[in-house]
Structure 1
Amino acid sequence: MNDIKEQIRLLIWATEKAVKYFMKSSKFVNPYYFLDG
């Protein structure tokens, strides 16, 4: 049971990290890109 919880926690952490990286690298997601025109 603990192994499953650990895997889920790592999956959430990796997903958050990937989303943050994508937000930084993607001009379409970054709101400042639209503000700059």
Structure 2
Amino acid sequence: MSHPVIYTLTTFMIWLWTTPLICQDADAVIIPYGRASR
């Protein structure tokens, strides 16, 4: 049996963990590129 509540909480926790990593990667790529293009 799969519990929708557990599945939702697990997805939410994964989202919380991965979102800062994605934002850090975006900053690492966009900021140096923006400086280099000027």
Q: TM-score, normalised by structure 2?
A: 0.57
More relative contact order, 1 or 2 (CA 8 Å, 6+ apart): 1
4+ residue segments displaced more than 2 Å: none
TM-score, structure 1 normalization: 0.58
Q: How many residues align?
A: 31
Identity of aligned residues (%): 7
Larger of the two Rg values belongs to structure: 2
Alignment of 1:1-37 (within 5 A): 1-27=5-31
Q: Tell me, which stretches of 5 or more residues in structure 1 are unaligned? A: none
C-alpha separation in 2, matches of 1:27 and 1:16: 16
